[in-house]
Copies of this chain bind each other. A is one copy, B any other.
């Protein structure tokens, strides 16, 4: 895995949380909290990594990868993360969609 943006996931099956979101205007503490959430997630058991990007129109997709549904559930109820979710809904996102999925097949290629 030669590019840092990609998560070096194991062979399937594993789980993905697909978070699509449209940001509000202005930072409103978003950057700081987003960095904090990544740090917290990386300490959760079963966290495999995350891939994230956002275009200039404010629409972004973050996919986090997890060993199990149980690991996702434990993260979901993590207190500080819950607080961040509540704040995010109010301040950071005009709209979001969250989908939990089981990865069944995967392949990739690096040509550089």
Binding site for B on A (CB under 8 A): 2-3, 5-7, 9, 12, 16, 18, 20, 22, 24, 51-57, 59-61, 63, 69, 89-90, 93-112
Q: For residue A56, which residue of chain B has the nearest CB?
A: B56
Which of B3, B51, B56, B105 is in CB contact (< 8 Å) with A61? B51
Given the known interface contacts A6-B95, A112-B95, the answer about A20 and B63 at a Cβ–Cβ threshold of 8 Å is yes
Q: Which residues of B contact A56 (CB under 8 A)?
A: 56
Across the interface, which residues of B come within 8 angstroms of A103, CB to CB? 18, 99-101
Contact B97 A106 (CB under 8 A): yes
* Max chain B C-beta neighbours (<10 A), residue from A7, A60, A98, A100: A100
